[in-house]
Amino acid sequence: MKRVFRFLDGTLNGFYLKNIHHCLHEFSQSFVSLFAYHASFVFKMGEDVLEGETSIEEKDIKNLGAFAGVFPPYITSESNKGSILFTPSFIVNGREYSERALRDRIYEVFRFYRTNQGVYTDDIVTLSSPQLQASFVPSGTPILGYIPDDVSMFTTDGQIIHENILDEPPVGQAWYPYYGDNFLFLAETFLIEAYIAKDTFMELFFSYQRIRYNGASFKEFVFLTDLIMGDYIKDVYVETLPNRVIFFYSFNELVPLQNKVRRTFIWKYIIETKFKQVVLEEVMN
């Protein structure tokens, strides 16, 4: 450093030296965050980490998955739901109340309203929101935009891509009206290949590895069903035949479980690859 001072001579006023430090500090920042992450990352989701821990990044958990032979599967046909969704039965005190409901886009469940004869709620359209969407569009509702037939309307994590909504109907192409985020789209044109989010992939990875080490026992089957599906699975019974086990179940559509479609997909996917002699049979209520 002695030479620096000698060279700078009269121009040395601290400004240059301060900026050398500033420049180098700036350069070190990318390393600092990387080293900090590698010193503290743990195999946990964000909500489970303790002080001083960092949740493993999505790309790292997927890379680890590749080491273990767990690749994120693409969900296909089951994700391609249209807006015509049928509500399940919803009975309160012996009365059917499944007429008025909004679809919870995040939890993939219906929320029912007007479930007490003595209590009047607002109009279902008034109650709707971007998360709780209505499928009924009142007469006279203005069209806010136009969705071309062949574009994806959702990001990989389920958010609406507003940029793909046109102001004018596309020429020479089929389109669907867009009435606002409060309404389910008449045709959900998102790609049939859906994305396995980090939390779902973590459970897929964890289940696979657990079965790899503990074996494909009935205990593990029950554990993984509870882990991935929770109370979404109901009315379970098992029939044992000489060469296979038939697992009967039905879905409890009223249970608020995030990413139901994806979870159901990976649950079936794991059973197909690990429990070859188990046959899943859904019982419709």
Q: How far is the CB of 270 from other proteins (least distance, A)?
A: 9
157: Cα separation from own chain's centroid: 6
Q: How far is the CB of 144 from other proteins (least distance, A)?
A: 40
Choice between 93 and 243, CB closer to other proteins? 243
Choice between 213 and 237, CB closer to other proteins? 213
Q: How far is the CB of 68 from other proteins (least distance, A)?
A: 4
Instruction: For tokens 């991935």, name the residue.
Output: 228
Choice between 183 and 195, CB closer to other proteins? 195
Residues 110, 102: contact at Cβ < 8 Å? yes
Choice between 9 and 51, CB closer to other proteins? 9
Q: How far is the CB of 241 from other proteins (least distance, A)?
A: 8
DSSP 8-state secondary structure symbol assigned to residue 102: E
Residues 132, 111: contact at Cβ < 8 Å? yes
Residues that bind other proteins (CB under 8 A): 3-4, 6-8, 15-16, 19-20, 22-24, 26-27, 30-31, 34-35, 38, 59-60, 63-64, 66-71, 208-209, 212-213, 215-217, 243-244, 273-277, 279
Instruction: Return phi, psi of residue 193, to 5°.
Output: -90, 110
Spatial CA neighbour of 262 closest among 6, 75, 23, 94? 75
Residues 43, 34: contact at Cβ < 8 Å? no
Sign of CA dihedral 111, 113, 117, 118: positive
Q: How far is the CB of 72 from other proteins (least distance, A)?
A: 11
Residues forming beta bridges with residue 145, ordered by sequence position: 178
Choice between 54 and 209, CB closer to other proteins? 209
Choice between 60 and 188, CB closer to other proteins? 60
Q: How far is the CB of 239 from other proteins (least distance, A)?
A: 14
- 3-class secondary structure, 111: strand
Q: How far is the CB of 168 from other proteins (least distance, A)?
A: 41
143-to-132, 179, 181, 185, 262 alpha-carbon distances in Å: 19, 5, 12, 12, 32
- 3-class secondary structure, 114: coil
Choice between 120 and 213, CB closer to other proteins? 213
